[in-house]
Structure 1
């Protein structure tokens, strides 16, 4: 596996963890935007991305483009909140988007 894939897999893993944490802490709280729903979708996107990268799928690069878009959307939504977990989620999502765009 090439190093670009390895760094993208690691970024997706971190993003998945921060999104899961953010989602867990936002359950039951009021939100005027798509947080925590964006976290659920971002978790799924990162999982699929990791699977495609590990298997060296011919669709990995295309899917990385979509994953980057979803991560940017999640970063925007979570970034609107002052909660520490939302800010960490935003940062992880933005890092993941950059790594995914490198693959795409």
Structure 2
């Protein structure tokens, strides 16, 4: 596995941990109905990051598309979490944006590797 893939894989795993923490803590907040968008995106992101991890581990032919979608979902979740003042939401947002960045790097690396002149 390449260095970019390792970094992306680690970012996805860290992100899954942050999502799960944020998800659980949001549900415990008194006004958790106000956090419904955050809670939903936490679950979506965890699922996407798990798929991205599997794609990288199995060298999926769809890795470029999966990493691109994972980055999009992570950015959406990070943007939503950033709106909330809770520490767990802010930590999740930081993790989301870091994961999105690594997924974009991975996507670019796959594009370069699959380029006909490479």
Contact 2:68 2:104 in 1 (8 A): yes
Number of aligned residue pairs: 104
TM-score normalised by L of structure 2:
0.85
Q: Which has the higher Rg, Structure 1 or Structure 2?
A: 2
For structure 2, which runs of at least 5 residues remain unmatched after alignment?
Answer: 108-118
2:8 maps to which residue?
8
Contact 2:38 2:81 in 1 (8 A): yes
Indicate if the aligned counterparts of 1:33 and 1:77 stay in contact, CA closer than 8 A. Answer: no
Higher helix share: 2
Unaligned runs of at least 5 residues, structure 1: none
Report the aligned-residue RMSD: 1.1
Give TM-score, length-normalised by structure 1.
Answer: 0.96
1:103 is aligned, of 99, 106, 116, to: 106
Residue deviations 1:30-84 (CA, integer Å, cap 9, x gap): 3266111100000000000000001111111111000000000000100000000
Equivalent pair of 2:16/2:50 in contact (CA under 8 Å): yes
- 4+ long deviations beyond 4 Å: none
